[in-house]
Structure 1
Amino acid sequence: MQKSELSTYGIGYKQSNTAFTDIVGHWAKEDIEFVVSRGLFSGTSNTIFSPNTAMTRGNCEADTDGRHNQR
């Protein structure tokens, strides 16, 4: 007879207050802060995220590849 066990896991992340001045009032502000605080994406500078700028395939690869290689 096998015993079935359930485990509880938590996910930790570094919560940082974003200083992006161009996301105030933007419809995706909370989502932007979510992905930035988890290190998934970064802004175009320390104070600019550029939420209305199109992301190219190269931008996406650079962000995701850079995060992957940090592990």
Structure 2
Amino acid sequence: TSCTGFTISVGGTSPMCLNGYGVFYRISTDATTFCVSAYRSCPDTNPQALADLIKLTLIEMKISFMTSNL
């Protein structure tokens, strides 16, 4: 993964291996933005499915934090 830190920018990164993923993200005060990439030549990767799972997980984490009594 790669993070832009606190700068206002977006981008992407390529996977470090042919059957891997590249995940680039930015965390701001009101949103988290991310980009998932993979090489098209690899039949074993599915960047859209991974992005969907990351999004679902972040939503579930938000709900968990918002409904907890901490």
Whether these two folds match at TM > 0.5 is no
> Which one has a larger percent strand, Structure 1 or Structure 2?
2
Q: Which has the larger radius of gyration?
A: 1
Scaled by the length of structure 1, what TM-score is found?
0.30
